[in-house]
A and B are shown apart, each in its own frame.
Chain A
Amino acid sequence: MLDVLMHFCPGCSHGTIHKLIAEVIDEMGMESNAIGITPVGCAVLAYNYIDIDWVQAAHGRACAVATAVKRLNPEKMVFTYQGDGDLAAIGAGETIHAANRGDNIVVIYVNNAVYGMTGGQMAPTTLLGMKTATTPQGRDAKLHGFPFKAGELISQLDGVCYFTRQSVHTPAAVRRAKKALRRAFDNSMEGKGLSFVEFVATCSSGWKLSPVEANRWMDENMMPFYPLSKE
């Protein structure tokens, strides 16, 4: 982790998830062997915080980028870090196909139910009834379809060796999440296939809530629909 000020809003999950990734890479002794792929979204500048080699991908295409990075450099530890707009909307195709090929990468998927970076518009994951910049009356299934469970979909594919859904809103959750990340990274180096680590996350700015309210809202509304894995 680099000693710099983060650009994330107060109460945003991204910073904590970054820190966990940095810790796991560090504990694995993989700083010199890891290549990360940043998305287009609030995490676009993750490369300013975690001190490894990085490539910034076009919106949604991180899994395609990672596929080639890993196949051309099989000895490297390769992961993507993507929001729910990036991964589940514009990048759904690339994500599904990397998963289906079983590329030996880790996909870290931060599901905060909105497009944070562009100002809190609806994401595929936005809950029914949830108000966003583009669903001012609340998401209506007739108009916008249903919230998209990308993790469950991906987990069905034969190339996926590990799917887990985590969060970082309590110390216990953080500990579990770190274990999950470690397992995912280990899988990728053991050539087991694609590991998909979803985070149910807060976007205090997009949700227009204080950090404390955002955590509570996530617990009450996101968790029932996107249940966390037991371990």
Chain B
Amino acid sequence: MEQEIKLLKGNEAVAEAAVRCGCDGYFGYPITPQSEILETLMELRPWETTGMVVLQAESEVAAINMIYGGASTGKRVLTSSSSPGISLMGEGLSYMAGAELPCVVVNVSRGGPGLGTIQPGQSDYFLATRAGGHGDFNMIVLAPNSVQEMYDFIFTAFDLAFRYRNPVMILSDGVIGQMMEKVTLSPALPRRTQQEIARDLRSWALTGKPAGERRNIVTSVQLDPHVQEGVNHRLQAKYKAMRENEVRCESFLCEDADYVIVAYGCSARISRKAVELAREAGLRVGLFRPITLFPFPYAELSALNARGFLSVELSAGQMVEDVRLSVGCRARVEHFGRMGGVIHSPNEVFEALTSKFTDK
């Protein structure tokens, strides 16, 4: 198999992955720190090679509804934005979950609230895991911590989106989106042909009603509450299957750890350095990295025997609630994180760890 290695920004890796994973369409609206995704796609001009459609939408509201339309026809569709734009997509995401449509949404998040800052933030954890939009729904949320994962997770996300017929969010951040690393690129997969979509996805996708067969209707509206409740039960069963089958996480030096830092995305990269500093100082500290934020690795985290857990996030403390749910009263759980686009250093994380736990 041919292997290609390129030096790419996280955002550029998303664009490369989209073309190579057989994506049919990208629809997005510029916003820092992720505009390179659309810019790179426009440079790559995939419509001349794979036939992938790339369109700059007039807003994030339009973009997510274009995604909804594309997905309704069984296509692999992608959008990306950063925090304020993701807020605008809430209704569309809810419609997609309700109508059971697959798509991938990348959030290269920045600090908020409001227009906030264009600098990195991790304060969209609740938005991604709890409240992507109105109504009872969940999305699988993948949190890459390297440019390679920005690339790889596009493939994973599309697989999951189609397996569950549900939106998948890649929750990245301005650090991962903007930093440059070497990426191993995989050979390009072909796009699904119209015949393949009609053959494999006709049970739900709009391909034009075949003569003499039933029409397909993609909708999220049920006027009869009992019918709607049935839909809700079916959706909940799907989210349960996600919880049971799709948890992904990683640990580093957790076996003997007295203290465990829990961090995802860029904070996991920073915290890994902090763990090394702590080990050099003779402290037994490990790092636990949730890779899926929904489903959260509750069981895997609660199986660790540390005395203290420090949730490190570029936020006022959001994931820390899931850490508390995992650990319960068995151990102390604390949070540390800078906000507003300020990025904590490994030293700051190490100091936070020692001051919150070992000094006492």
Contacts and interface: CB of A to CB of B under 8 A. Distances in A.
Interface of A: 31-35, 37-38, 44-45, 47, 51-58, 61, 64-69, 71-73, 76, 93-94, 97
Given A35-B206, A58-B91, A64-B62, A47 B25 contact: no
A44 B221 contact: yes
B69 A68 contact: yes
A138 B70 CA distance: 42
Nearest to A30: B208
A127 to B, nearest CB: 29
A54 B206 CA distance: 7
Interface string B218-240: 11110000000000000000000
A138 to B, nearest CB: 32
Nearest to B61: A61
B72 A65 contact: yes
Interface string B171-206: 000000000000000000000001000000000001
Contacts of B73: 35, 69, 72-73, 76
Contact of A47 (B61, B69, B92, B219): B219
Interface stretch (B52-60, B255-263, B303-311): B52-60
Question: Which of B53, B66, B210 has the largest number of chain A CB atoms within 10 A?
Answer: B66
A32 B210 contact: yes
A195 to B, nearest CB: 18
Q: Which applies to chain A's interface (DSSP): helix, strand, loop or mixed?
A: mixed
18 contacts: A53-B206, A53-B208, A53-B209, A54-B216, A55-B217, A57-B65, A57-B68, A58-B91, A61-B65, A61-B68, A64-B66, A66-B69, A67-B62, A67-B66, A71-B25, A71-B70, A97-B57, A97-B58
Shortest beta-carbon contacts, A-B, top 5: A65-B69, A68-B69, A61-B65, A68-B66, A56-B219
Interface string B237-268: 00000000000000000000000000000000
Interface in B22-68: 24-25, 27, 53, 55, 57-59, 61-63, 65-68
A56 B209 contact: no
A65 B65 contact: yes
With most chain B CB atoms within 10 A of its CB, the pick from A32, A58, A61, A64 is: A64
A55 B208 contact: no
A11 to B, nearest CB: 22
A53 B215 CA distance: 5
A97 B99 contact: no
Contacts of A72: 24-25, 53, 69-70, 73, 75, 77
A67 B211 contact: no
Given A68-B25, A68-B70, A72-B53, A94 B206 contact: no
A52 B24 CA distance: 23
Interface residues of B, number: 39
A91 to B, nearest CB: 10
Contacts of B62: 61, 64, 67, 93-94, 97
Contacts of A69: 69-70, 72-73, 206
B219 A55 contact: yes
A67 B99 contact: no
Contacts of B69: 37, 55, 57, 64-69, 72
Nearest to B68: A65
B211 A55 contact: no
B64 to A, nearest CB: 8
A72 B99 CA distance: 19
Give the interface centre of B53, B217, B220 by most chain A CB atoms within 10 Å. Answer: B217
Nearest to B62: A64
B91 A52 contact: no
A190 to B, nearest CB: 18
Contacts of B72: 55, 65, 69
Contacts of A35: 73, 206, 208
A56 B99 contact: yes
A64 B66 CA distance: 5
Contacts of B75: 72
A74 B164 CA distance: 27
A94 B209 contact: no
B216 A56 contact: no
Contacts of A32: 208-211
Nearest to B59: A93
A53 B207 contact: yes
A204 to B, nearest CB: 21
Contacts of A31: 209, 211
Given A47-B215, A54-B218, 12 more contacts: A37-B69, A47-B219, A53-B208, A58-B65, A61-B62, A65-B65, A65-B68, A72-B25, A72-B73, A73-B73, A73-B194, A94-B62
Contacts of B216: 53-54
Nearest to A65: B69
